[in-house]
Amino acid sequence: MTDFEVPVLSVKNLNKQYGPGCLKCRGGESSSLVKNYCQVCGTVYACRNVSFDVFPGEVLGIVGESGSGKSTLMQCLYFDQEVTSGEAYVSDYENGEKNLFQESSQQQRYIRNHIMGKVYQNPLLGLRMNFSSIGNIAEKLIAAGNNHVGMMESRGTELLNKVHIPVHRRKEAPKNFSGGMQQRVQIAKALSNHPPLLLLDEVTTGLDLSVQASVLDLIKSLQRELGISIVLVSHDLGVIRMLADRTLVMLEGKVIEQGLTDQILEDPQQPYTQQLVHSLL
Amino acid sequence: MNTTYNFAFFDEGSKREIRRATLKAIAIPGYQVPFASREMPIGRGWGTGGLQLTLSLIGMKDVLKVIDQGSDESVNAVNIKKLVSNTTGVEVTEHTSKATLIQSRHRIPEVPLTKEQILVLQVPLPEPLRYYEPSETETKKLHAEKEYSGAWLMLFEQIMKYGGMATGADHPVLVHDRYVMAPSPIPRFDNPKMNANEALILLGAGREKKVYAVPPYTKVVSLDFEDYLFQAEIFADKHCRICGQTDVFLDELVDELTDETVYQCNDTSNCLEKLNSVGVK
């Protein structure tokens, strides 16, 4: 046995800025910034030196107010956006020795298709609304190199079963589905190629409470069953409390506090975290 | 011959620009090269792409044949033939083997082409991924990264909906193991003819301003799945009612008075040649 577990995902000093930056804001370090916005050149520093590790089978929660850089961070990790600087390593890709952000766009696409799954807050981004639900799942399977219709159909049906989409509706387009069902199709799609790493961006925001509960339940049981690692972004502390083993708190693009979820929720150290925890109804 | 126009209607600069795009297209088989599609005396969508290729390539010694859906005598074919011969004075023919330059709308002639010949196909929609991804910027990226899951996904959807691949025409092909290409809406029957064809095949889309090519002896594979193989249209037990040929693409005609279904050669000049070779009874 090794002394230390190897992280599935390791992110080091990730920076993302929108805008050119100027002498006044000095790469986001200046105190003249309003939150993370430079009033001189209009640059927004969305993520500033974000570093963290995700270990096998772990659920890492990320909380923070809106505009704190949570979603930008997730988009950078899934290569939807280019990072300004920083490194990320995935243990399943090249033994975790290659910085993902330096790889070519073909390689990044390979990583997305083979190693990651992502569920977006808005199903419009994660699904093709005019294609059938099973086709949406097949899209990810085809991208990961499958070329057998029968196999893809049975895998798709199995996954849709798992997320409680009735079998007779599997050939229907997600545009005909309710928000909660669309979200579940997204989860099935993200899980289709057995990704070791799943990125969940505000999956339950906007869903009603009972659907929220069933989606969360589903994620929890799938995570236990398949042993996947999850990075979970939410501004809902209830979701974080239920799912996350460890939690990062982000504010103005920076990680201001991190630790075990219980620790963060029971004994917050930073003023912002304290305020956040105490405003929990 | 009308000498008030420059030879072959276009000015020399225009012809050179189109030929330059054509050369690039030949150098990168299956890649869609943008070109400055000219205003033509016929409407866009009526074969302007093919016509521009023809006019840019034609020389005094060429022999021209124009086909419209297999027919040498339909309005589109006759008018294009008239325009070209009027501005060049070249010989026109109906015999496939006699022609050096063949412009065709949606058919590859039944008579095998030779290395002395160039086949120009008119293309309405050059982008095989257009239905899957409406944005040109995005499809360009997909081609660059050889990300063709969308092309297979469209076929997968057809299998889910109709139980088999249902492309009537324009079944996508993979050219030279690199680019997925729309073979212009030729019937599936003609797809295998593109593979390792001796003639140079050029495809021009006037409205979409793209030129692409399949050079002689290039590998062209129709897309399919392991358990759903590509299949050309089959005309089992059917033969042309006029000339009696069996291994050709047949049109299905229904006589509305007698409700009788009859079959007849789609390639009219081939049918006529066959009749002439046996002689009139």
**Catalytic position from the list B50, B70, B150, B240:** B240
- Residues A59-101: tens digit of each pLDDT: 999 998 888 999 999 999 999 999 999 999 999 998 889 999 9
Looking at CA atoms only, how far is residue A184 from chain B in angstroms? Answer: 20
User: What pLDDT score was predicted for residue A36?
Assistant: 86
The domain of A31 spans 9-115+195-278
State which residue of chain B sits closest to A130, comparing Cα positions: B132
- pLDDT attached to residue A2: 59
Using the predicted structure, report yes or no on whether residue A5 has a pLDDT greater than 80: yes
What value, to the nearest 5°, has the Cα angle with vertex B21 and ends B19 and B27?
100
Phi and psi at A181, nearest 5°, equal -65, -40
**Chain segment B107-149, per-residue pLDDT in tens:** 999 999 999 999 999 999 999 999 999 999 999 999 999 999 9
Query: With contacts defined as CB-CB under 8 Å, which chain B residues touch A105?
Result: 141, 144-145
Report which of B204, A79, A80 is spatially closest to residue A88, judged by C-alpha positions. Answer: A79
Interface contact A148-B161, CB threshold 8 A: no
Q: What pLDDT does A213 receive?
A: 85
Element (H, E) at B155: helix B149-162
Written as six digits, the tokens of A230 are 């999850």
In a domain, A147, yes or no: no
Percent of chain B, pLDDT > 90?
A: 92
Distance CA B189, CA A86 (A): 53
List CB contacts of B251: < 8 A, sequence separation 6 or more: B70, B263, B264, B265, B266
B12-222 has which CATH code?
Answer: 3.40.50.11310
What backbone torsions phi and psi does residue B64 show, to the nearest 5 degrees? -105, 140
Q: Verify whether the Cβ–Cβ distance A171 to B159 is below 8 Å.
A: no
Residue pairs spanning A and B at CB distance below 8 A: 47
Closest CA to A119 of A205, A183, A210, A209: A183
* Chain segment A156-181, per-residue pLDDT in tens: 999 998 888 999 999 999 999 988 89
Nearest-neighbour CA in chain A from B135: distance (Å): 14
Contact A138 B141 (CB under 8 A): no
More confidently predicted of B54 and A209: B54
What average pLDDT does the segment A235-252 reach?
A: 91
A68-to-A20, A54, A205, B88, B243 alpha-carbon distances in Å = 19, 20, 16, 69, 76
Q: What angle do CA A236, A241, A243 make, to 5 degrees?
A: 100
Kindly report the nearest CA distance between residue B131 and chain A, in angstroms: 10
Q: Kindly list the domain boundaries of chain B, sorted by start residue.
A: 12-222, 236-281
Mind giving me the DSSP string for A223-271? HHHH--EEEEE-S-HHHHHHH-SEEEEEETTEEEEEEEHHHHHHS--SH
Rounded to the nearest 5 degrees, what angle is found at the Cα of A105, between the Cα atoms of A101 and A108?
Answer: 60
> Can you tell me the distance from the alpha carbon of B118 to that of B101, in angstroms, rounded to the nearest whole number?
5
The letter for the amino acid at A276 is L
> What would the pLDDT profile of A180-196 be if each residue is shown by its tens digit?
899 999 999 998 988 99
Residue B84 near residue B90, CB atoms below 8 Å: yes
Look-up: residue for tokens 């409390």? Answer: A241
CB atoms A132 and B149 under 8 Å: no
Any domain includes A163: no
Is residue A22 pLDDT above 90, yes or no?
Answer: no
**Above 90 in pLDDT, residue A42?**
no
The pLDDT score that the predictor gives to residue B240 is 94
A151 belongs to a structural domain = no
Closest to A114 measured CA to CA, from A184, A230, A188, A194 = A194
Buried b / exposed e over B103-140, threshold 16 CB at 10 Å, is: bbbbbbbbeebeeebbbbbbbbebbbbeebbeeeeebe
Distance from CA of A205 to the nearest CA of B (A): 28
Does the pLDDT of residue B18 top 80, yes or no?
A: yes
pLDDT confidence of residue A281 = 58
What six digits make up the tokens of B186? 């030729």
Structure tokens at B209: 């301003």
Tens digit of each residue's pLDDT (9 = 90 or more) over B55-85: 999 999 999 999 999 999 999 999 999 999 9
Q: Do B157 and A153 touch (CB under 8 A)?
A: no
Distance in angstroms (rounded) separating the CA atoms of residues A241 and A20:
38
Give the DSSP H/E element, type plus range, for residue A150.
helix A149-162
Name the nearest CA neighbour of A11 among A61, A55, A53.
A53
State residue B92's pLDDT score: 96
ipTM surpasses 0.85? yes
User: Does the beta-carbon distance from A149 to B227 stay under 8 Å?
Assistant: yes
pLDDT tens figures, A109-155 = 999 999 999 999 889 999 999 999 999 999 999 999 999 999 999 99
With both helix axes pointing from N to C terminus, report the angle between B149-162 and A149-162 in degrees, rounded to the nearest 10.
80
Mean pLDDT of chain B: 94
B110 three-class SS:
coil
pLDDT per position as a tens digit, B177-220 = 999 999 999 999 999 999 999 999 999 999 999 999 999 999 99
- Which residue does chain B place closest to A128, by CA atoms? B132
d(CA B40, CA A92): 56
Query: What does each C-alpha distance from A58 to A61, A134, A170, A248, A266 come to in angstroms?
Result: 10, 29, 31, 13, 20
Q: What residue has token string 């398949």?
A: A226
Is the minimum CB–CB distance between A128 and chain B shorter than 8 Å? yes
Mutate to test the interface with A, among B156, B180, B221 (most CBs of A within 10 A): B156
Query: How many domains in chain A?
Result: 1
Task: For residue A87, tell me if it sits in a domain.
Answer: yes
CATH code assigned at A254: 3.40.50.300
Mean pLDDT for chain A overall: 90
Choosing from B30, B49, B50, B206, which is the catalytic residue?
Answer: B30
Structure confidence at residue A107 (pLDDT) = 92
Predicted confidence at residue B280, as pLDDT, reads 56
Alpha-carbon torsion (B204, B208, B209, B211), positive or negative? negative
DSSP tag of B189: G
